[in-house]
Amino acid sequence: MRLIQDKITLPLLLSLFLVSSMSFAASEDTLLRDLQGGEQRLSDYLGKGKWVVFNIWGPKCPPCLEEVGELVSFHDEHRDKDAVVVSLALDFPSFTYAKVDEVAAFVDDYFVNFTVLLGDSKLAQRVTGELLMGTPTSYLYDPQGKLAAVRVGTVTQEMVENFMRTYEK
């Protein structure tokens, strides 16, 4: 029974996460501001021995509202072990620079406990090297800092955990 389940699960996982084959010049060193006005880079998190879920979202994006609890739960369970969530908030639906007060209210309302950076679609493209196709979008980097998968649309904790297990095999 397990073998059959694995044969069904692997294609499903691969259809949910697309490995990025076409990429523009990514710059994980692009300087981004956090909610407190500090400066951070995605590269501060990559290649440090943990998986990194880099999630691009907007506080008024309906699918982002559905997804945030899953990301908070994932981060809670993994941050001290093998993975972290880092996010880039932008204004929705304009994809312009995030409004700090809206993002801060969202973070408080939904008990977001992972790093939240502020930006717009242009910053997202500079960081990831790809045009932003919609929100939410998640980039999954392996513990060595290599981009392993990209997902446009919501993710669940289970999806990310299953992908991590499958990728490591």
pLDDT band for position 28 (cuts 50, 70, 90): confident
pLDDT beyond 70 at 56: yes
pLDDT of residue 140: 97
How many CB atoms sit inside 10 A of residue 27's CB?
16
Sequence-separated (6 or more) residues with CB below 8 Å from residue 42? 28, 29, 30, 32, 52, 54, 86, 127
CATH number of the domain encompassing residue 124: 3.40.30.10
Average pLDDT over the chain reads 88
pLDDT beyond 70 at 8: no
pTM of this prediction? Answer: 0.86
Look up the domain containing 33 and give its range: 2-168
pLDDT of residue 13: 47
pLDDT of residue 169: 65
Number of domains in the chain: 1
pLDDT tens string 75-113 = 999 999 999 999 999 999 999 999 999 999 999 999 999
